């Protein structure tokens, strides 16, 4: 049975049986998420979530990163994952699932909960949980459901369950309970709401709860994938692709399709940003020379980020999830950096004038039915002189096939850690990089946590 096979994989796979590639990817995810958490800590809504969590009180089980203080583990990850996702600079995977912003905080908090966890056990839990979610994600057909809310909870549940040492029956029930907690809609992204950030926290919060409840004997539906009202029916439109979920577990890793973003915006905007920046470099484009930019994207991406740009209640979220803004920003500022998405930059009248020149349309034939081309974009720039420049980007930089180097991952981490002022001492930042690179040698990953608490 598919469900049992997944549970066995999480419970029984040893660290020494994991190949180097997925372990290296997870180390990059860990460093990326730690940087994203530092950068996002002071973003809108994070302090509100943290203050509410502190008002709830409860057992001092796990640390609220950056801010300090301990709360129940499931509430600590609600805060920490909200911060990690706040600036949308975390890892992702087509068609839009964000796993790392929940998986890493969940693993750290659960390590605290159980009184310690070796680096090898920490890495193994992250790889196994991420792979389970990645395989389920690969067969999903979300159609407006948020992939993160629906699917990433299988990762957090598996990770928490692994570190809690659940047995096979308990792990099966934990994953089944995770199915019942799945949920979320892309409407949060389109409307520019802070729910995008908080939903990432819900994924981590729910994962720890599912693992803890299963450990105490709460059961879930045995056929949560293949049942008549199981996952394949609800989120895969009755495509019962069990082979894709369980074939070659341990040999083939779906998580190698992880995307590390070069820009602080939705994955659906990355290829468009790449395209315009390439034209800026190659043709010396400046906004004054551009009469019109026509952009074609796949229908999935158009629905998510192809709408007309408007500044709403949360300007940063509005900008992060909009192609027009991201392209206008890259053209005007010759780059795409975190500070370009702060409110003063988003409301700059100059950017609004450039936005008016950008027209986004949906092209059903663009991806040729290939999932790896989901983010593909075709761009045509018409200049005021009548010149026409065209650029096609099949997959954005940072994607599989064009992955970042270790040096680029470290550079991004340092950029994130310095964003918004010095929340952490430089010495802490300098120590985190080598510690993450040799996580397998660390006796207790809780040693990372004091380095992630602000001293200012």
- pLDDT given for residue 229 in this prediction: 97
* Portions of the chain given CATH number 3.30.1330.120: 267-393
- Look at residue 165 and tell me whether its pLDDT is greater than 70: yes
- pLDDT given for residue 270 in this prediction: 96
Task: Kindly report the CATH number that applies to the domain delimited by 2-261+405-452.
Answer: 1.10.4100.10
Separation of CA 42 from chain center: 18
Closest C-alpha to 287, from 212, 370, 348: 348
Regarding pTM above 0.85, the answer is yes
| For residues 213-236, average pLDDT | 97
| For residues 169-185, average pLDDT | 97
pLDDT bracket for residue 1 (50, 70, 90):
confident
414 Cβ contact list (under 8 Å, min separation 6): 35, 429, 433
- Look at residue 97 and tell me whether its pLDDT is greater than 80: yes
Rounded mean pLDDT of the chain?
96
Task: Kindly report the CATH number that applies to the domain delimited by 267-393.
Answer: 3.30.1330.120
- pLDDT given for residue 421 in this prediction: 74
* Portions of the chain given CATH number 1.10.4100.10: 2-261+405-452
As a whole-number percent, the residues of the chain with pLDDT over 70 amount to: 100
pLDDT in tens, 129-156: 999 999 999 999 999 999 999 999 999 9
| For residues 345-355, average pLDDT | 96
Asked if omega into 95 is within 30° of 0 (cis), the reply is yes
With vertex at residue 430, the alpha carbon angle to CA 426 and CA 436, rounded to the nearest 5 degrees, is 140
- pLDDT given for residue 368 in this prediction: 84
- pLDDT given for residue 443 in this prediction: 97
């Amino acid at each position: 049975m598919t469900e049992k096979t997944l549970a066995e994989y999480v419970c029984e796979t040893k660290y020494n049986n994991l190949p180097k590639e997925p372990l290296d990817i997870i180390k990059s995810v860990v460093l990326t998420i730690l940087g994203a958490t530092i950068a996002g800590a002071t973003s809108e809504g994070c302090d509100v979530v943290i203050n509410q969590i502190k008002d709830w009180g409860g057992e001092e089980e796990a640390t609220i990163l950056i801010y300090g203080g301990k709360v129940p583990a499931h509430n600590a990850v609600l805060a920490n994952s909200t911060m990690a996702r706040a600036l949308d600079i975390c890892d992702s995977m087509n068609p839009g699932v964000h796993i790392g912003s929940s998986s890493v905080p969940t693993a750290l908090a659960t390590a605290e909960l159980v009184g310690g966890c070796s680096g090898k056990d920490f890495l193994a839990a992250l790889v196994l949980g991420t792979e389970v979610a990645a395989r389920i994600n690969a067969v999903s057909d979300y159609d407006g459901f948020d992939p993160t809310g629906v699917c990433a909870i299988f990762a957090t549940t598996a990770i928490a369950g692994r570190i809690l040492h659940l047995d096979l029956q308990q792990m099966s029930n934990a994953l089944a309970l995770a199915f019942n907690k799945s949920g979320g809609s892309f409407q949060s992204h389109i409307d520019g709401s802070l729910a995008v950030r908080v939903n990432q926290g819900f994924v981590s919060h729910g994962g720890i709860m599912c693992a803890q409840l299963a450990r105490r004997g709460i059961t879930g539906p045995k056929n949560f994938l293949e049942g008549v009202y199981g996952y394949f029916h609800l989120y895969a439109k009755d495509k019962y692709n069990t082979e894709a979920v369980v074939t070659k577990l341990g040999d083939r890793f779906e998580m190698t399709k992880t995307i590390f973003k070069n820009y602080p915006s939705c994955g659906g905007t990355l290829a468009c940003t790449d395209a315009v920046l390439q034209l800026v470099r190659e043709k010396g484009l400046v906004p004054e020379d551009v009469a019109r930019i026509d952009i074609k994207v796949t229908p999935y991406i158009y629905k998510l980020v192809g709408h007309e740009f408007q500044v709403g209640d949360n300007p940063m979220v509005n900008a992060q999830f909009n192609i027009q803004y991201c392209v206008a920003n890259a053209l005007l500022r010759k780059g795409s950096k975190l500070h370009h998405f702060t409110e003063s930059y988003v409301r700059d009248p100059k950017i609004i004038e450039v936005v008016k020149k950008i027209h986004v349309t949906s092209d059903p034939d663009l991806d040729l039915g290939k999932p790896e081309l989901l983010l593909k974009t075709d761009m045509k720039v018409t200049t005021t002189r009548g010149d026409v420049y065209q650029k096609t980007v099949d997959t954005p930089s940072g994607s599989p096939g064009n992955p970042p180097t270790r040096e680029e991952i470290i550079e991004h981490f340092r950029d994130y850690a310095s964003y918004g002022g010095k929340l952490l001492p430089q010495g802490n930042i300098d120590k985190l990089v080598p510690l993450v690179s040799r996580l397998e040698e660390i006796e207790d990953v809780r040693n990372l946590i004091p380095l992630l608490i602000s001293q200012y």
